[in-house]
Chains A and B, each alone.
Chain A
Amino acid sequence: MEIVYAKEEKASVVSVSGRMDGVSAPDFEQKMVSWINEGESNFVVDFGSLDYISSAGLRSILVTAKKLKAKNGRLLLCSLKDTVKEVFEISGFSSIVPIFDSVKAAVEEI
């Protein structure tokens, strides 16, 4: 899993590629928490190059989303591939975290 961070005017755009599994998900959570602690509160997470996600990945997203909600921040996801989208849909996570078709659409929402 690779994580690229870009600070944009309205939001922090975090691009995640590869696999978010039981090994890599804690790394994502740790990085997100450190950016939140540095004061960032609006995040667009770009899953356009994410090939796979397991319950460990969903758990790290849930933890991050809860932290941001407590700070009146936002976590938006975008560009999910079909297999990743399926995991979000059957788990009910697509109704917990807003999902957009593109980075642009997500950033405009903030």
Chain B
Amino acid sequence: MSKIILPATIEHLENLVGFVSECARKTGFSNKRLKEIELASEESLVNIFNYAYPEKSGEVTVTCFSQKDTLLKIEIMDKGIPFDPLSLPEPDLHADLSERKVGGLGIFFIRQMVDEIQYRREDGNNILTLTIFINKAV
């Protein structure tokens, strides 16, 4: 298990995503899967940067549980206002250029890139857990 705690602001995106990516690399994921895991992590983190702390600053804690050559579980926790990213609507993927809305893709990418996703509110924390298996059951 390894953990990183940083202020929940966009300036720390690179450090946080880099941390997850390094955990994923050690777990044994291919370069292609690393990029997918980075994408799911960035989208989860940016949601927290944007929504968790509207009136004050706060922190985000990312914890990686790794089983080498098997799976990576990423737990992303903040102490912000209750926010379940899984409640966000799916974007309309078929709209053309003039109708296509800016945004809404973040949660879609998270769902696409990980095998299991779970949200829970616990002791004043938002906890989002993403699980990715090395051998994805298709």
Q: Which residues of A contact B (CB under 8 A)?
A: 21-23, 51-52, 54-56, 58-59, 62-63, 65-66, 69, 82-83, 87, 90-92, 95-97
Contact = CB atoms under 8 A, between A and B. Distances in A.
Interface residues of B, number: 29
Contacts of B102: 59, 62-63
Contacts of B56: none
Nearest to A22: B46
Nearest to B17: A21
A52 B39 contact: yes
Interface stretch (B71-79, B103-111, B115-123): B103-111
Contact of B109 (A23, A69, A82, A87): A87
A52 B105 contact: no
B43 interface: yes
Contacts, number: 66
Contacts of A91: 91, 93, 105, 108-109
Contacts of B11: 23
Nearest to B106: A55
Interface of B: 10-11, 13-14, 17, 32, 35-36, 38-39, 42-43, 46, 49, 91, 93-98, 100, 102-103, 105-106, 108-109, 112
Interface of A is mostly: helix
A59 B97 contact: no
Select the residue from A52, A63, A65 with max chain B CB neighbours within 10 A. A52
A107 to B, nearest CB: 21
Contact of B42 (A54, A65, A95, A96): A54
Contacts of A96: 96-97, 100
A54 B10 CA distance: 14
